Structure 1
């Protein structure tokens, strides 16, 4: 079916074989900023699309997942699609499929029953579903065969097809913390900087954070700090493009010292500045700075 678009509104209807990766595709589209509705009866698609078009831009990127789970409602699917096309209502149809072998393997791994044959062999359900979906497949704007695709490869295909100007970069969150307050549970990387010279033992710096120039200069002046920062920069410059290539949408780098006030704050700020200067979407957070009794902090 011919691709249709209208202004900035984009409606993607996802359908296809059970076990072909519709759920994963929907998650990928959610990561791209789409509003997703699963298992919507086809008869409701035109009215739902009309409501979205007239939402004053509040809902203009929509994904509807429609498949054989809607049972008798599914028989109206092709008719609904043709009606929308004739009425010039914008939509794109993504059909997900996979080989019988791949679908059977996935059902065996998850120990789930096939929706078309809950009390029979999986292969029977696959044959019934292929026959029922034949007409819908012929109307597809895009067809993705996931038989041999990894999750990252599927995401790359989804991004290429639907990742337009709204797509965000991988977000990188730089988090300073103190080990005495516990490690952050959501960290992808944890860098321990407790080996660096500690301004805490300098009376005039004890109550100033690592963002204060005086404290930052003290930490930075030592050869061990300079050597560490060079190695850290090299590591991050190597790793981040690899994470982006792999399809990671968010990265949390946690920098920890004892109290989360001096050394971790300084290194986190350094790393944040490095990534911002290289054009990455970076955020900086000092988790435990306010937990220290007395401090002076300058951003």
Structure 2
């Protein structure tokens, strides 16, 4: 268990899970997108919602089902909200009983939505609740397991309607985040965003840098009279810096090294990475090198922006 599966592919379905006719995985669709996150309490709905929020989705937790059509109506290609995720579960108590009727209403209105259902074994759910010392929302005055079994009966019909079921029994919260991210991220879509920043050491190190490179090993264009008034964004300075023996090789090898590291950041769910390139004043060498490194990362298909923190401070 602990695997994500396409319920149209019986080869991927874990033992004990039946194929559900007419249901699909979460395919890439044109915006706007709506996902309803539901499932067993303690199975990871909050983490799934947080993962989508980190990916730029507008996430609403503990939404009463009656409000689903209104929220769906706000999601249009023209609005600021193009990707909406709603966490709907039994915490809404009697309102949850309306959910199946609300889903039919969404279907009648041709609303494009998908249901992501999170599940876990009873034993694992008991362990998780006991570790945080909180009661199950349907436990009442009974045992924890009574609440879990009651919830299973209440949401079984919803589970059968779901597009994707994720069993989180053996998953860590990071495993679940990776699975959710992979579901909604199209193949080839970048998951790490790079910022390449130039800076001057005399103004201090950038506090938010993940990697810092020092290019003060290169001759300083400041001491070349015709280049002193220019910056690393100007072609004469750029050509001067990159023509220095070892400069272009440094840029090439640095990008090659960091491109491998970026793959690790993607795997470890770090979506934003800042690379800082420093020289003495942040005007010539670091600016030219930052521009070159950013250009090379761009050719690799990564979203990258360039910031020159100290340009103009001298």
- Do the two structures share a fold, i.e. TM-score over 0.5? yes
Q: What are structure 1's unaligned runs of at least 5 residues? A: 293-299
Query: For residues 154 and 111 of structure 2, what CA distance do their matches in structure 1 show?
Result: 25
Q: Does the 8 Å contact 1:32/1:167 carry over to 2?
A: no
Q: TM-score if structure 1 supplies the norm length?
A: 0.79
C-alpha offsets along residues 47-101 of structure 1, whole Å, 9 cap, x if unaligned?
A: 3323436x75554432111112212212222332244335544322111112344
Query: For residues 239 and 255 of structure 1, what CA distance do their matches in structure 2 show?
Result: 17
Matched, 1:177 2:171: no
Q: Equivalent residue for 1:256? A: 278
Matched, 1:61 2:87: no
Query: For residues 175 and 51 of structure 1, what CA distance do their matches in structure 2 show?
Result: 38
Q: Equivalent residue for 2:209? A: 187
Matched, 1:85 2:107: yes
Matched, 1:219 2:241: yes
Q: Equivalent residue for 2:49? A: 26
Q: Equivalent residue for 2:8? A: none
Moved over 6 A (4+): 4-7, 118-121
Query: For residues 196 and 203 of structure 1, what CA distance do their matches in structure 2 show?
Result: 17
Post-superposition shift, 1:160?
4.3
Shifted more, 179-188 versus 9-18: the winner is 179-188
C-alpha offsets along residues 109-129 of structure 1, whole Å, 9 cap, x if unaligned?
A: 555554444887654543343
Matched, 1:138 2:160: yes
Report the CA distance shift for 1:118/1:186 in structure 2 as closer, same or farther (over 3 A): farther
Q: Does the 8 Å contact 1:34/1:62 carry over to 2?
A: yes
Query: For residues 281 and 139 of structure 2, what CA distance do their matches in structure 1 show?
Result: 59
C-alpha offsets along residues 130-183 of structure 1, whole Å, 9 cap, x if unaligned?
A: 333223222212111122234554344334433359955532111111233233
Post-superposition shift, 1:222?
3.8
Aligned ranges 1:82-231 → 2 under 5 Å: 82-86=104-108, 88-107=110-129, 112-117=134-139, 122-164=144-186, 169-231=191-253
1:52 to 44, 65, 75: 75
Post-superposition shift, 1:265?
1.0
Post-superposition shift, 1:13?
0.9
Report the CA distance shift for 1:204/1:115 in structure 2 as closer, same or farther (over 3 A): farther
Report the CA distance shift for 1:117/1:10 in structure 2 as closer, same or farther (over 3 A): same
Question: Number of matched residues?
Answer: 291
1:12 to 20, 35, 40: 35
Q: Equivalent residue for 1:38? A: 61
Q: Does the 8 Å contact 2:190/2:301 carry over to 1?
A: no
